[in-house]
Amino acid sequence: MQSDIEKILYDRNVIAQRVHDLGAKIAQDLQSNQIDAAEIVLVPILTGSIVFLADLIRHLPQKIRIGVVSVRSYHGKSTSSKDLALRSEIPQSLAGKHVIIVDDILDTGKTLALVTSIISEQNPASLKTCVLMRKRIPGAPELQADYIGFDIPDEFVVGYGLDYDDYYRNLPDIVTLRPDAL
Ligand code: 5GP
Ligand code: MG
């Protein structure tokens, strides 16, 4: 696995620091909006966000719940979402809750747009989005999320939960792969 790595984009220490800061910001926003009294539900999009989620939630002192969603994308091993559909049930009873959708990476924005639109139908009290990374594609419009860990160049990355063909999720760093590994 190590020999498949081309370069390290963000090492584990840089990630840990950034996730700590993101968590602190989210916790502060929840507190200053006095949301901590009401129910908070984090909605991670499987599977890529699991490592990020696991680290992020341990920086939140509030009482929270987790409701996972899974999105099926009909694409190749390393290209991004084309046709998307929900693979799982959306957590029910998000009405009146403060919801934060958590994803690994914002690329074309289709995944987040799909999950956001389905969850808004349930009328949550508030709905925010949090992504570990946002890809900046030259010439493309800048996509928004409420919380963004890193703005990255238009490169295919794996590690820290992100996969290629379902492998490499367990790499502690965010890396690019050598062309012969793809
Ligand atoms: P979007 O719907 O925004 O185009 O794509 C988001 C999804 O595409 C992410 O949740 C992720 O599963 C996948 N994706 C996009 N870019 C990358 C990447 O560089 N590496 C990996 N492993 N997945 C990516
Ligand atoms: Mg994903």
Question: Tens digits of per-residue pLDDT, 134-156?
Answer: 998 888 888 999 999 999 999 99
pLDDT for the residue numbered 1 = 87
- pLDDT below 50 — which residues of the chain? none
Task: Using a cut of 0.85, tell me whether the model's pTM lies above it.
Answer: yes
Question: Average pLDDT over the chain, rounded to whole?
Answer: 91
Identify the CA nearest to 172 among candidates 51, 74, 44.
Answer: 51
Which pLDDT does position 54 carry in this prediction? 98
**pLDDT score, position 82:** 61
Mutate to test the pocket of ligand 1, among 5, 103, 104, 144 (most ligand atoms within 8 A of CB): 104
Per-residue pLDDT reduced to its tens digit, 72-90: 776 555 555 567 878 777 7
Ligand 2 centroid, distance to 161 Cα (angstroms): 9
